[in-house]
Amino acid sequence: MSNTAEHKVGFVALVGRPNAGKSTMLNWILGEKIAMVSQKANATRRRLNAIVMHHDDQIIFVDTPGLHEKEKMLNQYMLEEALKAIGDCDLVVYLAPASDSIKHYQHFLEVDGKNRKHIIALSKIDQVSQQELLERIGEYNQFASKFEALIPMSVTKNVGKNDLLDVIVKHLDTSPYLYDPEDLTTEMMRDIYREFIREAIFDNISDEIPYESDVVIDKIEEDKRVEHIRATIIIEKESQKGIIIGKGGAAIKRIGRDARAKIERLGGKPVYLDLFVSVKKGWTNDKEFLQTLGYNL
């Protein structure tokens, strides 16, 4: 494959309601875990680009925060990130779990407001009966003039991936490759490490604390044998510090162990991860501090 030859190439925004499974879907399509996954809603905060080669064509998927509306400045940023991705991309894939009410899709149409070219990925079809699936498809077909295609899919059963990719490339323009076909993502490794640590916090700490926390990668030192990473977990309240650390440091050890395992799987070598905790009161509504964390408000 030549980088100068003409292929189907383009950016595709992956959107949907919070906790619809966008990041899980992206990791499955890519065949590698790079996007943060959590059972809790609104875990994804920023766009993430994943480069997927489908035969000789190049699709750059843009994972986005869920389409929602909340008052905190951080949540407003997340909604704006999703809307910007919709506006910047050549095509949109709207991820709709088969068990969802169609009202979520109607909300997407209202939020977008410009009837952008999009495909519906009807996911988790293994979680509903055949009759329910047919009824859901019938509901979406009322809006057939709005979308280009509807693709039933299941990550668990490995169904629909190639069907989706085949349809996507039909709607992309020809172009030389925008990125090296060997690359998985345009993200810096430190940003992926940050997301893996955030994912470990979501997996190990309950209630609202994961939503009021973030991670700063302070330093990365690597050699051929081991990678040393120092990171700070930012939280909003002093009372949260003890919960993040846990009795005898048990909680932060679990967070570190889980995050380290994810980083090692991606990087392919041992990792020494050193975690610290810092309190920054009201950071989710502090524009200046949010900007230091990389949220471009």
| Rounded distance between C-alpha atoms, residue 167 and residue 163, angstroms | 6
- Are 127 and 218 members of one domain? no
The predicted-structure confidence for 143-178, as pLDDT tens digits, reads as follows 999 999 999 999 999 999 999 999 999 999 999 998
- Are 167 and 200 members of one domain? no
Least confident of 71-75, 162-166, 242-246, 272-276: 71-75
Measured CA angle at 254 (ends 252, 256), to 5 deg: 70
Say if CB 9 and CB 58 are below 8 A apart.
yes
Domain count, the chain: 2
The CATH number that applies at residue 92 is: 3.40.50.300
The residue type found at 140 is: Y
SS3 83: helix
Residue 62, in any domain of the structure? yes
* Rounded mean pLDDT, 105-111: 87
- Are 145 and 220 members of one domain? no
- Are 140 and 39 members of one domain? yes
The predicted-structure confidence for 204-252, as pLDDT tens digits, reads as follows 998 778 788 999 999 999 887 899 999 999 999 999 999 999 999 999 9
158 contacts: CB under 8 Å, gap ≥ 6: none
- What is the predicted pLDDT for the residue at 293? 84
Q: Which two tokens stand for residue 165?
A: 């990719």
Residue 194, in any domain of the structure? yes
How much is the pTM?
0.75
- Are 107 and 40 members of one domain? yes
- What is the predicted pLDDT for the residue at 211? 81
- Are 127 and 274 members of one domain? no
The predicted-structure confidence for 134-150, as pLDDT tens digits, reads as follows 999 999 999 999 999 99
- Are 220 and 260 members of one domain? yes
- Domain with 35 in it: 7-175
The CATH number that applies at residue 234 is: 3.30.300.20
| Integer-rounded Cα radius of gyration of the chain | 20
Residue 284, in any domain of the structure? yes
Query: Which residue, of 175, 204, 224, is where some domain finishes?
Result: 175
Residue 70, in any domain of the structure? yes
- Are 155 and 245 members of one domain? no
The predicted-structure confidence for 8-60, as pLDDT tens digits, reads as follows 999 998 888 878 888 889 889 988 887 766 555 555 666 678 899 999 999 99
- Are 203 and 115 members of one domain? no
| Rounded distance between C-alpha atoms, residue 294 and residue 289, angstroms | 9
- What is the predicted pLDDT for the residue at 30? 87
- Are 71 and 105 members of one domain? yes
